[in-house]
Amino acid sequence: MNTMEIDNRQTVRSDALALFGVTGDLAYKMIIPALYALVKRSALTIPIVGVALEKWTLEQLRARITDSLQHEGGIDDRQAFDKLLSLLRYVSGDYNRQETFSSIKEALGGAQRPAHYLAIPPSLFENVIQGLGTAGLAKGARVIVEKPFGRDLASAQELNRVAHSVFPEDAIFRIDHYLGKEAIMNILYFRFANSFLEPIWNRNYISSVQITLAENFGVKTRGAFYETVGCLRDVIENHLFQIVALLAMEPPTDQNPDAVQTEKVKVFRAMRPLAPADLIRGQYEGYRNETGVAKDSDVETFCALRLFIDSWRWEGVPWYLRSGKYLAESVNEVVVELKPPPQKLFDDSPQASEGSNYLRFQLAPHSAIGLAARIKAKGKKFIGDQKELFVIEEEPGEQSPYERLLGDAISGDRTLFSREDATEAAWAVVEPALKKHPRALPYKRGGWGPEEANALIAKGSGWHNPSL
């Protein structure tokens, strides 16, 4: 394939969407509302072919769409709602049978550049991808693949092999909804749109970086699924590693998606592989009583780790990552802790072991940036307090992550999607910890995980526990 053909596929919009797993939970909660939002702003006018095993009629699918929208936010634009229903078609069939793909081809009509969205379990990816290839549905097409993209390095490599046997790399869109969040995108913009950060954004001025992604609920009805992944696979290796990459990467040469991805890959490749001593695993009390969970399960619902990036910019700077369920708050936050001034000039100047100024990115539930600085108190004495300058950045009418990512995939914009070498490089970092790790420690609900996680931070002010 020559360069001109690649460029054309990247810039030409898809002319149809085949949504595999249209009757599933992900489609109900996330994808259908995103499709409705795209139709409302006239960004989606192409046929939508829903595909699933259920032997539904088109009217049953429309009823499912209606129920989803009423449950997930309501129907506030009747014209757009009617337009969405008019775009729908439905194919019922077994993904193991080639006649299913023949029916999909017929439903797509004369579409020359369809986008195939695989909102299905990873175990079905290979059958569907190969079925698309055999049916001639891959030529000029794109495939959108939901995470998890593999469950370790070997499975990710095999999945890439299968995908590449049918689709070229530039036609594969590996979707991670976290990259579509406005606050996550703002990290990249804030870093490189402002000149004041660059002089201090390195090992000389930054003592550590902490990233917390906490949830105040459990696995709910997803116990059987969670038993196959755990927190390290489900959150750390993808969501939090992507945040690390945006914070740690060097400036890309331009906004070209490949330029950004190349700098991310460099970060992943510079990450020191995880050792057992760098990892604390936890399991909330009562997890083993959840539906679908083994009575002797060692799957972690909490994970905290210490990470190092062996690069010129970050040598020696520890990165502390943690995530878990049934924690005190549902929040995602980054704290970049700066080193204290080199001389203790004032009596209340912080010691190196006490922490100092910091920059804080709150990513969820609100989008905000805070800068902590010491301010002198009134009076003759040179003493003061640390105050935080806090800027809320949310704007009404922001696109949801799925709306943004689905729209980008249809238009061929790969900026917010993962590349093959990035996914494999990230898995290589956690691979040792997947094979050898400490047992999961029990922790009470409503706190911040096992006490042992505090031992990962040997110096500084300890974990910054977010408060909303």
What is the CATH classification number for the domain harbouring 32? 3.40.50.720
Summarize pLDDT for 47-85 with one digit per residue, the tens.
999 999 999 999 999 999 999 999 988 999 999 999 999
Tell which of 146, 164, 196 closes a domain.
146
6: pLDDT strictly greater than 90: no
Confidence of residue 348 (pLDDT cuts 50, 70, 90): low
Q: Residue 261's closest CA among 173, 197, 332? A: 173
Does 38 map to a domain? yes
Domain region containing 359: 179-400+418-456
Average pLDDT over residues 360-386: 79
Active-site hit among 116, 177, 239, 464 = 239
Question: Phi and psi dihedrals of 73, rounded to 5?
Answer: 145, -15
Q: What is the pLDDT of residues 266-301, one digit of tens each?
A: 999 999 999 999 999 999 999 999 999 999 999 999
Cβ neighbours, 10 Å, residue 235: 21
Q: Residue 321: beta bridge partners?
A: 211, 305
Judgement on whether residues 265 and 359 belong to the same structural domain of the protein: yes
Last residue of a domain, one of 100, 131, 146: 146
Domain count, the chain: 2
pLDDT reading at 205 higher than 50: yes
Is the same domain home to 140 and 189?
no
121 and 194 belong to one structural domain: no
Q: Phi and psi for 115 in degrees, rounded to 5?
A: -110, 125
Looking at residue 3, what is its pLDDT? 38
Q: Does residue 352 surpass a pLDDT of 60?
A: no
Closest-CA residue to 23 (of 46, 55, 1):
55
DSSP strands (E only) in 156-219: 172-175, 206-214
Q: How are beta strands 331-338 and 206-214 bridged, if at all?
A: antiparallel
Could you tell me if residue 468 is inside a domain?
A: no
129 and 209: one domain? Answer: no
Q: Does 152 map to a domain? A: no
Kindly report whether the global pTM for this prediction surpasses the value 0.75.
yes
CA–CA separation, 235 vs 119, rounded Å? 18
Domain co-membership, 103 together with 221:
no
334 located within any domain:
yes
Q: What is the mean pLDDT of the chain?
A: 89
Residue 165, domain member (yes or no): no
Same domain? For 275 and 358 the reply is yes
Same domain for 59 and 201, yes or no, is no
- Determine the Cα–Cα distance for residues 85 and 202; give it in Å rounded to an integer: 52
Pair (244, 343) in one structural domain:
yes
For residue 467, what pLDDT band results from cuts at 50, 70 and 90?
Answer: confident
- The reported pLDDT for the residue numbered 394 is 63
Per-residue pLDDT reduced to its tens digit, 93-135: 999 999 999 999 999 998 999 999 999 988 899 999 999 999 9
CATH number at residue 350: 3.30.360.10
Task: Give alpha helix (H) positions in 136-181.
Answer: 153-164
Identify whether 200 is part of a domain.
yes
What's the pLDDT band for 182 if we cut at 50, 70, 90? confident
DSSP for residue 351: P
Task: Examine the domain organization and report whether 141 and 187 are in the same domain.
Answer: no
Active site residue 177: no
Q: Which residues of 342-354 are buried (b: 16+ CB within 10 A; e: fewer)?
A: eeeeeeebbeeee
Share of the chain above pLDDT 90, in %: 69
Alpha helix (H) residue ranges in 296-391: none
Strand order in the sheet with 88-92: 88-92, 48-52, 16-20, 114-118, 142-146, 172-175
275: number of Cβ within 10 Å: 13
Q: Is residue 155 part of a domain?
A: no
Same domain, 130 and 25: yes
430/8: higher pLDDT? 430
pLDDT over threshold 60, residue 5: no
115 and 210 belong to one structural domain:
no
- The Cα 182–Cα 52 span in angstroms is 31
| Residue 404 Ramachandran class (φ > 0 left, ψ -120 to 50 alpha, else beta) | alpha
Residues 275, 359, single domain; the answer is yes
- 340 within domain boundaries: yes
